[in-house]
Structure 1
Amino acid sequence: MAGGSSNGRSLEQTPTWAVAVVCFVLVLISIIIEHIIHLIGKWLKKRNKRALYEALEKIKSELMLLGFISLLLTVGQSLISDICIPEKVANTWHPCNEDPPEPGENDGSGTDEGNHDRRRLLMVSDFGKSVRRSLAAAGSTNSSCPTGKVPFVSSDGIHQLHILIFVLAVSHVLYCILTMALGRLKMRSWKRWEEETKTIEYQFSHDPERFRFARETSFGRRHLSFWTKTPILMWIVCFFRQFVRSVPKVDYLTLRHGFIMAHLAPQSHVNFDFQKYINRSLEEDFKVVVGISPPIWFFAVFSLLFNRHGFHSYMWLPFIPLIIILLVGTKLQVIITKMGLRIQERGEVVKGVPVVQPGDDLFWFNRPRLLLYLINFVLFQNAFQLAFLVWTLYEFGRDSCFHKRTEDLVIRITMG
């Protein structure tokens, strides 16, 4: 799509069979993808996976939104590239231009070629058999802008934005699927614990008529210690616990018993499958996690804005999702510990299994769903970081200014 290309033929100069073949392939691929999504939806309905079906519909709406953005870019490409801005403004906030030319430096003298070299954003140079691609020019050679001005965004830049949107859509869908798969894999080990609750040994060890000290129960030994008396120590211990085993067996069984006591009859613990209930809850929460809200879109634009040279965004931007997810994991551990402290506050002696009492006041701002929104934010930001990495490698190559430092690639990959 570069302007001034010798191969820039219009459709009136293109064979009709070539146009028909391209249209046929695009339509065929679109129909196949739509049919696959339709089959997945029918399969989910057949298995009564209502929440997952709604999540699939939300993914389809997000893909439609990305497609609509791409369509607007296509329709408005000429309008955007016809907008002219002064070179002084165009020479600011470049992602890779380490030494932009000073205003008035391009005065038509013999240094014009050197200034153009510093100003261009897309350069292809051959070193033997390898081709290195770096960042594109602010304007194309056939720009309609007058002297001293350049296009707001060139046609090449808009075309590259198309590719970024496509890669973002693919990476977001893959991250959604990966998130769901990891959630189900995590809960697979809980199935064994759920089967154990139906055995005679479990019913004997959890005799409801048995009196014990709260601190001597398995749940008490895990969560009632000297470090729980100091909030700072509690947060430090809970921070490291999320790396060892986020949901141990004793926590699962205690939370299961607390849920039954709060919502069901005490005799229901034999037939109630808490693991299946959590599985259905995961599907319900997945509808929230896969969505892309306006604040998340604005943060993506913020990430693009501050991806300029000198801000070192690769050193701090990928760490924002990491910090958030570590805070969420620590907060969940703190919540379970505080529920254990509430058991001790009600009395030193407990009858049967300790009964935990969850409450909205244990969460930030009394809003449990805030944790879901934070996980949603992390999911999209991980997808965005991966898409940006793949896009820059594809468009500009390994040796571009985006990847001058090896730590840039390491940070983007490992943090995601």
Structure 2
Amino acid sequence: MGGGGGGRELDTTPTWAVSLVCLVIVVISIILEKTIHKTAEAFERRKRVALVEALEKIKGELMVLGFISLLLTFGQNYITRVCIPEKYSRTMLPCEFKSEDSHEGGEGSEEGGHRRLLWFERRMLATDSPGKGCKEGFVPLISVNALHQLHIFIFFLAVFHVFYSAITMMLGRLKIRGWKDWERQIAEQTDGSAADAARFRLTHETSFVRSHSNMWMQNPIIFYVVCFFRHILYSVQKPDYSTLRHGFVSVHLSPGTKFDFQKYIKRSLEDDFKVIVGIPPYLWMISVVYLLLNVKGGQVMFLLSIFPLMVILAVGTKLQSIITQMAIEIQEKHAVVQGIPLVQVSDRHFWFSKPTLVLHLIHLTLFQNAFEITYFIWITYEFGLHSCFHKYFLLAVIRVCIGVGVQIVCSYITLPLYALVTQMGSQMKKSIFDEQTSKALMSWHNKVKKKHEHDHDHVPIRTRKLGESPGDDSSPEHSPKHSSGAAAVAVMESSIEMSDQRDPDSPKEQMTDIDLLTGP
């Protein structure tokens, strides 16, 4: 690098060595590109539009990191020519500054002055060429060796960004997969296999209310303490899932509609994943501040590492308190309910009545936590585990343990809980529901058209996607009012009536079995 250390230039390097290195780099790059491309194709075949968009975001972030690396490579000769007064180079060091006399002594001084020796080496590398050095009393802003270490840091960021994104999605889907049996049991009860679901009970006798309400919950302090431990130990139980599902279906869909709520939550998680994999500009600014404050052994870094833990625990407690508050509101009505009690769906349960604020806090927590762990791994790789960056080694170990714990809690508990509880807001995710409903309606209409092809009195049935303009010749009763579940069911029912008029043998009951997420 920089011609230091007796290294050969390109004109004195064998061509086979240059070609071999280029070949290896090109092959590895092509393999990575093809892997990402095949992954995107697999998501497209499985109709995972949200995951495709998330993958595109990851590719965009990798491109940004690539541009940063290219700029560092192209501009290193110009950056190293920037000189600053030597006194400023001794301020805000990550390790304590060692004077020249401190490393001229014994072996202990030499080991303790490792950072100072590196500093002298970098200064020599930056000033080995005539005309490129700094005048007396000035030093380079950053050395070539330090730029090389930044390159490695960029590489670590790229690799671990993909790794953490995959871990987050894998743990979240694993948690939601455990709710599949609950969805199947609820579907069987809806079909009439369980008579207990239809019996009348007082609100405080329902399992959902009993599990969340007692006399101690009237105290605000005890209320949040209980919600805190419930979030960590058992965040979502079957009564919670059943009640929230019942509230969602009752508000957004028509009674009796076949709907796979667990699959909808999984799609919702994928939609949230599009947000948390991105790195907006303000998060880049936070990472710069993170690097700026890494001074004198890392005590400040330890304090910053506690921030993601506090945020994710506060968010989880808030989400759990929303479920508990719904149970208390049902209990206070002192009413008689049939089957599952109906929860009140509203944005007022969330901070500032904005459910998306919780998602942005989760996004901030995951990014800061991932950046901190990546930084720790990079420092360990470059300078060793017991370097001056880890002056307080015990604090460094605690930071890593906190980071791993936050990653697991956020991915496996908090994010799936958010995907479930956020459905209790006033708005549903129409982008997910309408897309799948349109596919179900289009598939059903195509089957109806094929069925009537052999009918001599066939009247063409016009098909269109949900939400499209019906045209001037369409009757109002066949036009969807809104891109919501209720409007979709209305379109479906009106289409069923049209088909019944043409074919009396077409049972209407078969059409009500259409799954609005997967189609007929």
Residue 325 of structure 2 aligns with which residue? 338
User: Which one-letter code corresponds to 1:29 in the other structure?
Assistant: I
Helix, strand or coil: the match of 1:318?
helix
Within-5 A mapping of 1:44-55: 44-55=43-54
The answer to whether the aligner puts 1:216 opposite 2:205 as a matched pair is yes
Q: 1:296 aligns with which of 278, 283, 308?
A: 283
Helix, strand or coil: the match of 2:337?
strand
User: Which one-letter code corresponds to 1:275 in the other structure?
Assistant: Q
Residue 163 of structure 1 aligns with which residue? 152
Helix, strand or coil: the match of 1:272?
coil
* Contact 1:211–1:350, Cα closer than 8 Å, also in 2: yes
What 5-or-longer segments of structure 1 have no aligned partner?
102-112, 127-131
Residue 6 of structure 1 aligns with which residue? 6
* Contact 2:79–2:141, Cα closer than 8 Å, also in 1: yes
User: Which one-letter code corresponds to 2:6 in the other structure?
Assistant: S
Residue 61 of structure 2 aligns with which residue? 62
* Contact 2:297–2:389, Cα closer than 8 Å, also in 1: no
CA RMSD of superposed structures (Å): 2.4
Q: Deviations over 1:114-133 (max 9, x none)?
A: 26879xxxx9969xxxxx97
What 5-or-longer segments of structure 2 have no aligned partner?
128-132, 404-520
Q: 1:404 aligns with which of 384, 391, 397?
A: 391
Shift in CA distance, 311/15, structure 1 to aligned 2, threshold 3 Å: closer
Within-5 A mapping of 1:262-301: 262-268=251-257, 271-301=258-288
Q: Distance in 2 between matches of 1:262 and 1:202?
A: 24
* Contact 1:239–1:326, Cα closer than 8 Å, also in 2: yes
Q: 1:206 aligns with which of 197, 217, 228?
A: 197
Shift in CA distance, 74/115, structure 1 to aligned 2, threshold 3 Å: farther
How far residue 199 of structure 1 moved from its aligned partner, in angstroms, is 3.2
The answer to whether the aligner puts 1:25 opposite 2:24 as a matched pair is yes
Q: Distance in 1 between matches of 2:200 and 2:4?
A: 86
Q: Distance in 1 between matches of 2:314 and 2:376?
A: 25
Shift in CA distance, 27/297, structure 1 to aligned 2, threshold 3 Å: same
Q: TM-score by structure 2 length?
A: 0.71
* Contact 2:326–2:343, Cα closer than 8 Å, also in 1: yes
Shift in CA distance, 124/181, structure 1 to aligned 2, threshold 3 Å: farther
Q: Distance in 2 between matches of 1:284 and 1:260?
A: 20
Residue 172 of structure 2 aligns with which residue? 183
Count of aligned residue pairs for this structure pair: 390
The answer to whether the aligner puts 1:372 opposite 2:359 as a matched pair is yes
Give the % identical residues: 50
Between structure 1 and structure 2, the one with the greater Rg is 2
The answer to whether the aligner puts 1:319 opposite 2:269 as a matched pair is no
Q: Distance in 1 between matches of 2:104 and 2:124?
A: 13
Q: Distance in 2 between matches of 1:117 and 1:378?
A: 45
Shift in CA distance, 406/239, structure 1 to aligned 2, threshold 3 Å: same
Q: Deviations over 1:208-248 (max 9, x none)?
A: xx332222211111222223323222111111111111111
How far residue 157 of structure 1 moved from its aligned partner, in angstroms, is 0.9
The answer to whether the aligner puts 1:241 opposite 2:230 as a matched pair is yes
Higher RCO (CA 8 Å, separation ≥ 6 residues)? 1
Helix, strand or coil: the match of 2:124?
coil
Q: Distance in 2 between matches of 1:149 and 1:85?
A: 5
Q: Deviations over 1:349-408 (max 9, x none)?
A: 333311112321111122111111111112222221121111111110122112233313
